[in-house]
Amino acid sequence: MKNPTSKSTSKKGILKMAGIILGAVFGSIVALCLIALLIVWSWSPGEAEPYYNNGEVQTGSISEIIRMEIGGVEQGMIIRGKDANNPVLLFLHGGPGNPEYVIAKQYNIGLEDYFTVCWWDQRGSGMSYSSTLDPESVTTEQMVSDTVDITNYLRDRFGKDRIYLMGHSWGSFLGTNTIYQYPELFEAYIGIGQISNGLESEKLGYESMMSTAKKSGDTKSIKKLQKHKIANTDAITKEYLMLRSGIMNKQGNGVFHAPYSMFNDVLMPLLQFREYTLSDKYGYMAGALFAFKCPANDAGFTTNLMEAITEVDIPVYIFHGVYDRQVSYELSEQYFDMLEAPEKKFYSFENSAHSPFMEEPQRFIQIIRDEILAIEK
């Protein structure tokens, strides 16, 4: 005859042991999360590192984080340069919603050797993110207004009549609109991965992805692309853009031509970025998603600059990677050919996709130094 008390005791013992194991596992997870949080917190002082010369802060250099109200919203920027008397350059990042100094810093591009550079986090992104910001307020017109406000701040602070404007990806759309309306504020415009006709560029990019996937036998990508065929503006959704980013990066035609890892090339640089606080790092991630809701994001796809802006009154320099399909290299070249400007030059980067200033930084900075600034060696 079986002993019911013994069976009951056995079940209780098993449950107790399971509880102990689960508790230990949960406790370990919590402990690891706390350790990870402490590590990231230690990487997040929100301070700009000075330039040093023989152990002393370099005389005349500048390295600081500015937070100020622009257009009714607190916005942040990092200003860095080895000589505050150098020309001033305002960098317009892409996205919108993707501040780029977080990533660009690790490539030691060298812009700060020749400029006082303002790396501005645009409205709704990074240091300028706010959960109370209405996405409908983030329009192209508002972003141009913000750009002008920051430009005037930089002009006044550093005593410059004009500054240089550099725009990458969506920032090139913003930059082109700004110099068209306010040419008197700028010495020259430098476009990287220059937008021209957003919708046509997406169609060409889709065809390129599909063709490359078919040639390589990538059936998974083919099936995913077939569900998101680009036929009209309504098809350019957040889901498609995220799919497009993954496939293009895999094919070497996206952000970089070389293999690209979201963990190694974006997440880790963000977590280790000392200029940001923990709140700023949250704003970086939240702002990237927030941007999809903004009219300014849609304008980059629906506005055809080949029709809207065909003449500007300042010098224009375009840098574009030949492998770029995220923003069409071919359309950028066509736009350059038709654009009227006092001076213009187009530079092709043979080993780059969408980010030649990070992919080929030595050639990039050499052109800036020797041709645009014409600095004597």
pLDDT for 248-293, tens place per residue? 999 999 999 999 888 888 899 999 999 999 999 999 999 999 999 9
Query: Does 320 qualify as catalytic in the annotation?
Result: no
Task: Please state, in angstroms and rounded to a whole number, the distance separating the CA atoms of residues 239 and 242.
Answer: 5
Instruction: Name all contacts of 297-303 with Cβ < 8 Å and 24+ positions apart.
Output: 297/95, 297/96, 297/97, 297/170, 298/233, 299/139, 299/140, 299/173, 300/96, 300/170, 300/173, 300/195, 300/198, 301/198, 301/199, 301/202, 301/233, 301/236, 302/198, 302/199, 302/233, 303/140, 303/173, 303/198
End-to-end CA distance of the chain: 100
> How far is it, in rounded angstroms, from Cα 342 to Cα 311?
9
Which residue of the set 44, 63, 169, 201 is catalytic?
A: 169
Question: What sign results for the dihedral spanned by CA atoms 236, 237, 239, 245?
Answer: positive
What is the C-alpha separation between 271 and 239, in angstroms, rounded? 25
> Residues 6 or more apart from 94 whose CB is under 8 A from it?
100, 168, 169, 170, 171, 172, 193
What does the pLDDT read at residue 58? 94
Q: Which helix (H) or strand (E) holds 164?
A: strand 163-168
Asked about 354 being catalytic, the answer comes back as: yes
Residue 63 DSSP label = E
Predicted TM-score (pTM) above 0.75: yes
The pLDDT, as a whole number, for residue 86 is 97
- pLDDT < 70 positions in the chain: 1-9, 11, 13, 15, 18-19, 22-28, 30-32, 34, 36, 231-235, 376-377
Whether 169 sits among the annotated catalytic residues: the reply is yes
Q: From the CA atom positions of the chain, what is the Rg in Å?
A: 24
DSSP 49: P
User: Two tokens at 265?
Assistant: 């090339």
The alpha carbon of 226 is separated from its chain's Cα centroid by a whole number of angstroms, namely 28
Q: How far apart are CA 154 and CA 152, in angstroms?
A: 5
Domains located in the chain, CATH noted: 52-198+260-372 (3.40.50.1820)
Q: What is the pLDDT of residue 6?
A: 57
Of 197, 199, 200, 233, which Cα lies nearest the Cα of 308?
A: 197
Contact indicator for 138, 144 with CB cutoff of 8 Å: no
pLDDT of residue 63: 97
pLDDT digits (tens, 9 = 90+) for 44-85: 889 999 999 988 999 999 999 999 999 999 999 999 999 999
Catalytic entry in 324, 332, 352, 355 = 324
What's the rounded Cα separation, in Å, for the pair 78 and 68? 12
